[in-house]
Structures are given as structure tokens and as C-alpha cells.
């Protein structure tokens, strides 16, 4: 099994990376968080790898951080969650916030993630809430989770996600907009436009 890759990053996008090792380009599915951590194409990169072997396919899933890989492995152990959906989950919510939501049995936050319905959210909580203690980095981060930004910000976040933007990117755009103009939180339209400008 391929456990890690280190080589020249040829291509990266929010859901894919290609790393060349000894003349061979390896394609791996990645999350938005890993995408944000990777260097520019042409530079050396390292990914922790989960390898899925099927009858007609060899698929690689890459992670910048070992804890993210471990969280991915916990997710795919849940009934009904395959590797592709697990990557979607990790792109739809910051890992530390996911850990907080699971431990806190926060089903409402989980169902906001693309591809996760009520029953799947309930299964995730039931099967994982007591199995995340070894994810020390995320556990520490979850203890100091970002504060709630208000109803207008929540509405703007939902609107951006509905337009197809990954949750972490939308969240950062809203926070950047509010940092630049704190009064933007008083108007949905103002905050939404400001957040869009930061994404672009």
C-alpha cells in the first residue's frame, strides 16, 4: 500500500493533487484544507496517503496532516460513508469544527455539510463521538473554536455554500469581510457582497 508521497507538486485544485515521484505522477483526491496547505506547483510537497484498492481501480486520497487522515479513516468506518463522501465532508467543514460537532452531538451542524442527511449525521455521532480522543491537534483546536458570528453571517454562509463554494472558503471570506467592516453584519446584502469580493 502507498502510505505517503513526497515529490514535486505538478497540479493542485481544491479536490485533486498530482505529485511526481521518481518520474511517476500520482493523482490523489484531497480536501480543501489540504489544498490550502500545499505549496505552489513546481515545489516539493508531501502527502499522507490512504489507498483504496477495488477490483477495477486503485484510488489515492491525500492529506497534508496525519490527523486529517486519521479523521478520514474514522469517517469511512461509519456505515454509508465511502472515501469520496468523507473527502466531501472534510471539505465542507473545518476538521476541528467537525470533531467539536461530533463530540457535542451537534446534528444541526453536520446536516449542513453537503451529502450529509439527518440519519447519516446521527450515525456519525453515534459511532464516532467516543473514538476521536487520539486526534490531539483537532481536540485542542476545537476547545478554542471560532465564535458564532450572528444570524446574518449564518445566512450569508449558507448562501455561499448553496452557490457551490466549500464551507471553509466561504467561512474565511465572511470573516475577512467582517474584519474589514464589522458593520457589514447588520445587512445580509452588504455582507454577502463583501464576502464575494474576498472569494474573487
Over residues 83-135, the pLDDT tens digits come to: 999 999 999 888 888 988 898 899 998 999 888 999 999 999 999 988 887 77
Instruction: Please compute the mean of the pLDDT values over residues 189-197 and round it to a whole number.
Output: 90
Which domains does the chain show, CATH number per domain? 4-63 (2.40.50.140), 66-143 (1.10.150.20), 151-199 (1.10.8)
Between CA 45 and CA 102 the distance in angstroms is 31
pLDDT higher than threshold 70 for residue 147: no
- Three-class DSSP category at 183: helix
| H or E segment to which residue 81 belongs | none
Between CA 88 and CA 33 the distance in angstroms is 11
Beta bridge partners of 46: 6
pLDDT score recorded for residue 200: 66
What is the percent of the chain where pLDDT is above 70? 92
Between CA 8 and CA 89 the distance in angstroms is 27
Instruction: Please compute the mean of the pLDDT values over residues 132-153 and round it to a whole number.
Output: 62
- The residue among 50 and 166 whose pLDDT is bigger is 50
pTM, rounded to two decimals: 0.69
| H or E segment to which residue 198 belongs | helix 188-199
Amino acid at each position: 500500500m502507498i502510505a505517503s508521497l513526497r515529490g514535486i507538486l505538478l497540479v493542485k485544485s481544491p479536490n485533486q493533487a498530482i505529485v511526481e515521484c521518481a518520474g511517476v505522477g500520482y493523482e490523489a483526491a484531497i480536501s480543501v484544507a489540504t489544498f490550502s496547505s500545499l505549496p505552489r506547483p513546481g515545489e516539493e510537497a508531501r502527502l499522507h496517503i490512504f489507498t483504496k484498492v477495488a477490483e477495477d481501480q486503485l484510488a489515492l486520497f491525500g492529506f497534508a496532516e496525519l490527523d486529517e487522515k486519521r479523521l478520514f479513516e474514522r469517517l469511512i468506518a461509519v456505515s454509508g460513508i465511502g472515501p469520496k463522501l468523507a473527502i466531501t465532508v472534510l471539505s465542507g467543514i473545518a476538521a476541528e469544527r467537525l470533531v467539536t460537532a461530533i463530540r457535542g452531538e451537534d446534528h444541526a451542524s453536520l446536516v449542513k455539510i453537503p451529502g450529509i442527511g439527518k440519519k447519516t449525521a446521527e450515525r456519525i455521532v453515534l459511532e464516532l463521538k467516543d473514538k476521536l480522543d487520539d486526534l490531539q491537534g483537532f481536540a485542542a483546536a476545537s476547545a478554542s473554536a471560532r465564535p458564532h458570528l450572528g444570524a446574518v453571517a449564518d445566512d450569508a454562509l449558507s448562501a455561499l455554500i448553496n452557490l457551490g463554494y466549500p464551507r471553509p472558503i466561504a467561512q474565511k471570506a465572511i470573516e475577512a469581510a467582517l474584519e474589514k467592516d464589522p458593520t457589514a453584519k447588520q445587512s445580509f446584502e452588504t455582507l454577502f457582497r463583501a464576502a464575494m469580493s474576498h472569494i474573487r
